[in-house]
Chain A
Amino acid sequence: MNPEKVLFGFFIVLALTLNFGFFVGELDNPDHHHVYELFAVIVVNLIATVLKFGDRTQMGAVLLATSLVALLQLFAAALVWAVAEQITTIGLTPVVTASIVSLSGGAMLANVVSVVLLVIETVMLRR
């Protein structure tokens, strides 16, 4: 067992599960989507991205790309939240909530690709 692989797999899967946790619920209901969850998703995604640095394989490159996509989506969601709450003070209206959650939904798709790739790599290795 390679401890590096364990840590790697752990963070990639955690990024997906947390992302899913934030995403589920009614799309435009702010009560179903907690800000702490978004925070956790961003932190775990950042860690997962850094862990993918410096992998020379083709698979590593694609994994890094999916992570970067997820981060981009999550940063956009966080920015929308901050603008709505702090700068314009319109608060979490259904429109704002819907856009935050759908952005995180996009990030989740990227995370799904990450996990699928990880599974494929593992399967090919063990064949």
Chain B
Amino acid sequence: MQNIFFLIFRRMRAPLLALILTYAIAVLGLVLIPGQDAEGNPWRMDFFHAFYFVSFMASTIGFGEIPFEFTNAQRLWVTFSIFFTVVVWLYSIGTLLTLFQDPTFQRALTERRFTAQIRRIRDRFYLICGYGETGSALIQALTDRDQHAVAIDIRQDRVNLLKLENLRQYVPALCADARMPIHLMEAGLKHALCSGVVALTDSNDANLKVAITAKLLHPDIKVICRADSHDIEANMASFGTDYIIDPFDTFAVHLATAIQAPCLNLLQEWLTGREDSELRDPIYPPSEGLWVICGYGRFGKAVYDQLRKEGLELVIVEADPEKTGLPKEHCIRGRGTEAETLQEADIQRAVGLIAGTDHDANNLSIIMTARKLNPDLFVIMRQNRQDNDAIIEALHADMVMHPSAIVANRIRVLLGTPMLHEFLQLLLYQDDRWACELVSRILALVTSHAPDIWEVAFSEETSHAICQSVLEGKAVSLRDVVTDPRNRSKLLQCIPLMMLRNNERVLLPEMDEILHRDDRILFCGSHSAGNRMEWTLQNEHALSYILTGEARPQGLLWRWLKRRERT
């Protein structure tokens, strides 16, 4: 891109030379030709006046003959010079303006400005490649949590869309091909504060290229990738990509969890939901009986494998089984949008239906037809495009699989609350009873919206008061932290979910646990509880009220008076 500047300068030579030469000739002529002053004495124009006159003559402004009226010889020269200077002036200025509007030149300028912006970043940030549905959801979520992001997308209209978005943080964005390492570097891949790269483009190859570039050029950072095929996943994993997210597998595991342990599934959903989302009721996918899967593509295969592990009876409906490969159990040829195919698949006897083709209209049609034949079906719909939200909502499917939303959600948890991600991993080893108990405890805290999730690190910076007390040798227990700093007989509306101490994870830590420095605790609860806890963490007076029950005098004078009172 550096070349373009030299090229532009080189192209500027001809117009500038033409301008200098014509001006020089016109000025010299005016100086050489003898003139007269107002009294008729011979007078010669000096360079100062000649240059002044030519400057306005060439740009066709024309103020008249100055400083004295011209003689005929001067007028003859000016007549000639008007023509050549005006023409050359228009040509030169026109050429220069065109050069500055050159698209490649403009692009070079934009890139240069973008690089400068990135260099000035002073906070940790994530580099997000691909600003599609997933990317926009992720950036929205990250900026809502006051985290910084930089975006790259190959399409200008998407980048423009980002600029219109009302985000809490400024997100620098560049329209460029993320497959080119140079563009990733411009976007800050080698920046010391770049803490992760997220590849979310709709092409597997591009994601792979981004991942490998990031791993080679900045090996310490987190690399998170979206991948739709097992082939690419294995490839990405081979060079150490930190997290690979396959929306289809993720959903299939999700569905299997919902069949086995509905409470666990509900808990996962509540904790990972966006803070303003409504709590949904638990779903109970039937765990016995016949399931019909329409479409045996990437999604169909992932669900099929999971449901087979659950020991369910399965029928596949696939329009083109030669292309997709044949499942082991029996398979019916057809799209599933017609009643005959569905009847052939025994839809009347089925308990569940998965409309999993990559075409939204077909999926809707499958579900509507199937419901006519069997109204009690448990229906799962695969949504391919975000803009179909309205009709899919009207369908009232029991579960909707929207790949972009799934990926965005996973990454949001991963980057925004890494401890929650660990918690969810540990959750899978718990039984459903344990999960049901926790669900009912959470339900007691919040009304209709998903609970807030926050992490507390007991370090000097984030919880000054607690650290001071620990240093002074006072024991601060977990109960003290969750006590309401306004009324110590009450507890805040929150639950400590997990404690992390020296790489050891404790699920639902006890209230009597004595806190150490550098412990980290994950809480969930109401929004106001999180705000009030900040007081206890940072304000010594609030903490001392909780610990001792008395409001300590704050000013010097009152402390002195209090001391006198005691003696």
Task: List A residues at the B interface (Cβ < 8 Å).
Answer: 35-36, 39, 43, 46-47, 50-51, 53-56, 78, 82, 85-86
Query: Closest CB of chain A to B67's CB: distance in Å?
Result: 10
With both beta carbons as reference points, the residue of chain B lying nearest to A56 in the complex is identified as B6
Asked if residues B46 and A53 are in contact (CB atoms below 8 Å), the reply is: no
A43-B24, A54-B6 given; A35·B13 CB < 8 A: no
Contact partner of A82 (CB less than 8 A), chosen from B16, B17, B48, is B48
Interface centre among B12, B13, B21, B31 (most CB of A within 10 A): B13
Query: Closest CB of chain B to A58's CB: distance in Å?
Result: 13
Residue B28 at the chain A interface, CB threshold 8 Å = yes
Task: List B residues at the A interface (Cβ < 8 Å).
Answer: 3, 6-13, 16-17, 20-21, 24, 27-28, 31, 46-49
Query: Closest CB of chain A to B431's CB: distance in Å?
Result: 70
Asked if residues A54 and B13 are in contact (CB atoms below 8 Å), the reply is: yes
Asked if residues B20 and A46 are in contact (CB atoms below 8 Å), the reply is: yes
Q: Is the interface of A mostly helix, strand, loop or mixed?
A: helix
Query: Closest CB of chain A to B466's CB: distance in Å?
Result: 59
Asked if residues B13 and A39 are in contact (CB atoms below 8 Å), the reply is: no
Asked if residues B9 and A85 are in contact (CB atoms below 8 Å), the reply is: no
Cα separation A57 to B403 with both chains bound (whole Å): 52
25 A-B pairs in the complex with CB atoms less than 8 angstroms apart: A35-B46, A39-B28, A39-B31, A39-B47, A43-B20, A43-B24, A47-B17, A50-B16, A50-B17, A50-B20, A51-B13, A53-B12, A53-B13, A53-B16, A54-B6, A54-B8, A54-B10, A54-B11, A54-B12, A56-B6, A78-B47, A82-B48, A85-B48, A86-B46, A86-B48
Query: Closest CB of chain B to A97's CB: distance in Å?
Result: 16
Asked if residues A54 and B7 are in contact (CB atoms below 8 Å), the reply is: yes
Cα separation A77 to B49 with both chains bound (whole Å): 16
Query: Closest CB of chain A to B233's CB: distance in Å?
Result: 45
Query: Closest CB of chain B to A90's CB: distance in Å?
Result: 15
With both beta carbons as reference points, the residue of chain A lying nearest to B3 in the complex is identified as A56
Cα separation A97 to B50 with both chains bound (whole Å): 21
Given contacts A47-B21, A56-B3, A56-B6, 4 further A-B contacts (CB under 8 A): A39-B24, A51-B13, A54-B6, A85-B48
Asked if residues B13 and A50 are in contact (CB atoms below 8 Å), the reply is: yes
* Chain A to chain B: the 8 pairs with minimum beta-carbon distance, closest first: A54-B10, A54-B9, A53-B9, A43-B24, A50-B16, A82-B48, A46-B20, A54-B6
Query: Closest CB of chain B to A53's CB: distance in Å?
Result: 4
Chain B neighbourhood of A46, CB < 8 A: 20
Query: Closest CB of chain A to B236's CB: distance in Å?
Result: 40
Cα separation A108 to B2 with both chains bound (whole Å): 32
Query: Closest CB of chain B to A56's CB: distance in Å?
Result: 5
Cα separation A88 to B387 with both chains bound (whole Å): 74
Query: Closest CB of chain B to A43's CB: distance in Å?
Result: 4
Cα separation A8 to B352 with both chains bound (whole Å): 83
Cα separation A85 to B51 with both chains bound (whole Å): 15
Cα separation A39 to B31 with both chains bound (whole Å): 11
Cα separation A55 to B21 with both chains bound (whole Å): 22
Asked if residues B47 and A53 are in contact (CB atoms below 8 Å), the reply is: no
